[in-house]
Amino acid sequence: MAGIPTIILLIIKEPYRLKRVITFLNPWQDATGDGWQVIQSLYAIGSGGLFGAGLGESKQKFLYIPEPHNDFIFSILGEELGFIGCTVVLILFAIFIWRGILIAMRAPDMFGSLVAIGITSLVAIQVVINVAVVTSSMPATGMPLPFFSYRRNSTVYIAL
């Protein structure tokens, strides 16, 4: 509770942060400006339906979602693979995280345990933030989806 005023102050202090939060609260207020990417992401996920349009058949990645191979790759997955495909991808991430926790618990020493939980945490936090941004559950942050995004940063984060 004590950190909430500090977070609010940090958001208000920088105009771009305030703009992100305002866009998050109502992306349709500026649908052709700051809200464009989030709205197109939601259209992509929604148009995927249950089974999706098929691999490579996404319409939103062509001129609608800027840089679809980076931060908003999960919305393209949603359009191409549908709800079932997204669920499978999230289950695979959950298995990765679960196995990472098991490895950390069974590590023979504290160093091995910390390394395993550190790598697992990096992947888990990136997945949660990316999926939350793509589904408009939190303000846009620019976090890549591990193992899917094209950015070199995604590989570097995981390699560390």
Across the range 1-6, mean pLDDT stands at: 87
Cβ-Cβ contacts under 8 Å for 10 (sequence gap 6 or more): 17
What are the CA-CA distances from residue 58 to residues 41, 62, 74 (Å)?
11, 8, 12
pLDDT band at 153; cut points 50, 70, 90? low
- Structure confidence at residue 158 as a pLDDT band (50, 70, 90): low
Instruction: Provide the pLDDT for residue 79.
Output: 94
Q: Is the pLDDT of residue 130 over 60?
A: yes
Cβ(131)–Cβ(60) under 8 Å?
no
Q: What's this model's pTM, rounded to 2 decimal places?
A: 0.84
Cα–Cα distance measured from residue 138 to residue 125, given in angstroms and rounded to the nearest whole number: 13
pLDDT band at 134 (very low <50, low <70, confident <90, very high): very high
Dump pLDDT digits (tens) for 67-114: 788 888 999 999 999 999 999 999 999 999 999 999 999 999 999 999
**Using alpha carbons only, what angle is made at residue 145 by residues 126 and 135, rounded to the nearest 5 degrees?**
85
Q: Model confidence over 24-78: pLDDT tens digits?
A: 888 888 888 888 888 899 999 999 999 999 988 888 888 888 878 888 899 999 9
Q: Is 103 exposed, middle or buried (0-12, 13-18, 19+ CB in 10 A)?
A: middle
Domain layout of the chain by residue ranges: 37-159
Is pLDDT above 80 for 155? Answer: no
Whether pLDDT at 19 is above 90: no
- Token pair, residue 133, equals 């941004």
